[in-house]
Amino acid sequence: MASEVIVISDHARKEAGTVSVFPVLIHTDYARVIEDVRKVEDQFNSEMKTSIDTKTTADFPELGLAHVTAFTIPYCRPDRLSIMTRLTEITFFNDDYYDDAGVEKILDYNNHLRECFGGRAEDELTKASAVTKSKQLQASVLVEMHYIDSELARDMMLTYNRILEVTSLGKNAGLKSLDEYLPFRIGNSGIEVYQDMSCFGMGVKLTKEEKEKLDPIVIAAHNSTTLINDYHSWPKEVRKYFNEVQATGKADLPVNAVCIFMQTEGLSEQASRQRVREEIIAQQKSHLAMIQDLVEQEGPLPEKYYMYFKAAQYTASGSEYWAAITSRYPTKTELNQPEVIIVDGELKYESSEIQQTPKQIATTFNGIPESAKSIIESKVNGTSAHIPDIRHSPADGAQTHHLISDGQFREVINGHANVHTNGKANGTSQGEDLEVYEVTTGNFQRAPEDTVLAPYQYIASLPSKNIRNKFIDALNLWLGVPPLALSSIKRIVEYLHHSSLMLDDIEDNSTLRRGKPCTHMLYGNAQTINAANYAFVSAFAEVQNLQSPSAITIFIREVQNMHRGQSLDLSWKYHTHCPTVDEYMMMVDNKTGAMFRLCVQLMQAESSVPCQKITQSDFITQLGRYFQIRDDYQNLVSSEYTTQKGFCEDLDEGKISLPLIYTIMDSSPEASVVKGIFHHRLREGGLPLHLKEYILSQMEEKGALSATHSLLQKMQKELIEGLHRVEETFGSKNALVELMLRRLWV
């Protein structure tokens, strides 16, 4: 922890116009990290081919040049100030990069929509490659944090992952008050991650239970930080709103407390901004009052509690003082921006002579149906659920079909029916034979894909961590696979992955997948199997787009391995057979490892960097094993898995997992009881809760769960060592791969 800090004077705060009741401090080493900021700027702009200026440093009275981090984490340990500054700066760069990409998207909106139907795909993939580079820059800092303090770094990553799973860039619509708005903004603003960053910087460690206890107090301070950001960013958000209106004809209202007050209380813009400032003070006073209440209830609090509170306080007061002076947030005066009002859910300038009204979007958007626009926008914004884009050219020529229907002759040409009577009354007299006309056909007409794709589209739309695509992107920093080939490999993996999930859920009698009904529960077994087969064939068709002559051989070999491994898994379950640990590992190497080998081998075959350096190591084999064993373990102990798949769902399906093998591999009476439960379990409906609890207790008593956990931790160490060996062969670090691994740690 820093031995001392610099207190910003009341005079300086008054001159800046801040209202926070918390003190404003700055780290004593604030000048030392300016060079870190410049290095991040040079590196990011060089890698991303941009010229972004985040404007996160400013010339402060009595201080000179300073960065926002020195204000928001003034008690940061001196040896951690640099890495906290770099991580904060990279975060600002990423925010600005995506904002700039959004402006570019708006300006090229019409063309971009068409590109999503197939045109200029290589340009889109090149942009995706740039995004991967930006993630690599951030990942390198996050990995460095793990080496400094793995516990606090992991806390931050867990918070980050949790927020990503529930966050969406929602709109103000439906939020009827500030009380509804603030929890919504806490969830998607990233302030909780910054709290963990501050704790990392200060070295403050609290248990999960302690954090939950202090959450109501800390949230009040976070609310004030959110409102501070809303107040200072408002003019910038208004400018962005009208830029979008000018470019596309419409825009969503800013997600900002100023809008909330204008809409819900009917206040003017100026009055709403004043209400925001008043609420900043109210939230901070509430925070301090709750601390005092806690002290009165419990007596003197641990020092780490006070530091945890200060982390939230200085994030608020420091960010306000910084925002009031930095040029990152221009004022309405500096932008020469008139007052705005809200009319019919749209922002409008109060001055009629410069009124801007969003244009109405037609039913078809430049030739593209409005019904398709939301799907395209999801692709433009990078939020596609990886739904397959399988298109076929319609058959050329007319189709002529001669049909019998109620005594009428129908000739169908290009989908238009011409009806001819056959000279007889409709129907036939009793006893008269039905006159049959010859049916002739023209060109083949392909059936639409909507029905066959529906089950696939459903499972592809479910929430996913998307680990396989992240793995492919990370490896490509080494392998340099051309963009179109990389896209094909991703589609191959997606088709196979979702195909196997649909079939697995049927084979395992599962009812939940990622917290939602399994595909076959909605579409039936037969249609789901048909969709899974169609996805498999689509994967094979995609292989033909690859340039390497070995691609088909690789595909066939590894898909065969997947099915061989799956056959062992299913056979052991059906016959209640307990394999040896070595046999289990062989099954995993085939069933789970095959997908990772397929990714790597296809990428190496298409790589612009001739090498076989990854598959020559045991890194991929270890990764496949870790992935499966971790899944076995988490299924039994993780509350997240319980939510997504049900309590100990592997026991319901009778899966022979590694913890179960450890439990029943001996000849003890307890092992025999567990074997008997599995042998006589119901095929449908799984096991009763009390039997699952009994099996779980036996796993705990026999040390099966602890043995599995110990093995996983040993494998974690071996995976990092294996990754470092691969990094040595390539001559460069790959922080994205390491970060992906560390996010899986148990």
Residue by residue, DSSP assigns 511-539 as -EETTEE-HHHHH-HHHHHHHHHHHHHHH
Q: Quick count: other Cβ atoms within 10 Å of Cβ 525? A: 13
Q: Which of 82, 316, 66, 291 is nearest to 200 (CA)?
A: 82
Q: Quick count: other Cβ atoms within 10 Å of Cβ 564? A: 14
H-run or E-run covering 57: strand 57-60
User: Can you say which residues are annotated as belonging to the binding site for Mg(2+)?
Assistant: 95, 504, 508
Helices and strands (DSSP H and E) totals, the chain? 30, 13
Q: Where are the beta strands (DSSP E) in 336-455?
A: 340-343, 346-349, 364-365, 368-369, 402-405, 408-413, 416-421
Tell me the CB-side half-sphere exposure of residue 715, using CA atoms within 13 A: 23
User: Can you say which residues are annotated as belonging to the binding site for isopentenyl diphosphate?
Assistant: 465, 468, 497, 514
Q: Phi and psi for 620 in degrees, rounded to 5?
A: -70, -40
CA distances for 694 relative to 134, 343, 635, 674, 697, angstroms: 49, 62, 16, 9, 5
User: Can you say which residues are annotated as belonging to the binding site for dimethylallyl diphosphate?
Assistant: 513, 591-592, 628, 635, 645
Report, in angstroms and rounded to the nearest whole number, the Rg of the chain calculated over CA atoms: 31
Q: Give every CB contact of residue 219 below 8 A, 6+ residues apart in sequence.
A: 186
Look-up of token digits 């060592």:
721
Contact 711, 597 (CB under 8 A): no
**Which pair of structure tokens corresponds to residue 422?**
């056959």
User: Can you say which residues are annotated as belonging to the binding site?
Assistant: 95, 465, 468, 497, 504, 508, 513-514, 591-592, 628, 635, 645
The span from the CA of 724 to the CA of 732, in Å, is 9
Q: Is 346 helix (H, G, I), strand (E, B) or coil?
A: strand
Q: Which of 221, 247, 219, 4 is nearest to 102 (CA)?
A: 247
**Which pair of structure tokens corresponds to residue 451?**
């029905």
**Which pair of structure tokens corresponds to residue 639?**
């509350």
CA distances for 550 relative to 313, 480, 544, 554, angstroms: 59, 18, 11, 6
The span from the CA of 575 to the CA of 679, in Å, is 8
Contact 29, 62 (CB under 8 A): no
**Which pair of structure tokens corresponds to residue 57?**
């440093």
The span from the CA of 386 to the CA of 496, in Å, is 12
CA distances for 67 relative to 31, 184, 191, angstroms: 8, 28, 18
CA distances for 454 relative to 10, 34, 388, 460, 559, angstroms: 63, 54, 11, 10, 24
The span from the CA of 648 to the CA of 652, in Å, is 7
Percentages helix, strand, coil for the chain (3-state, rounded to 5) are 65, 5, 30
The span from the CA of 182 to the CA of 225, in Å, is 11
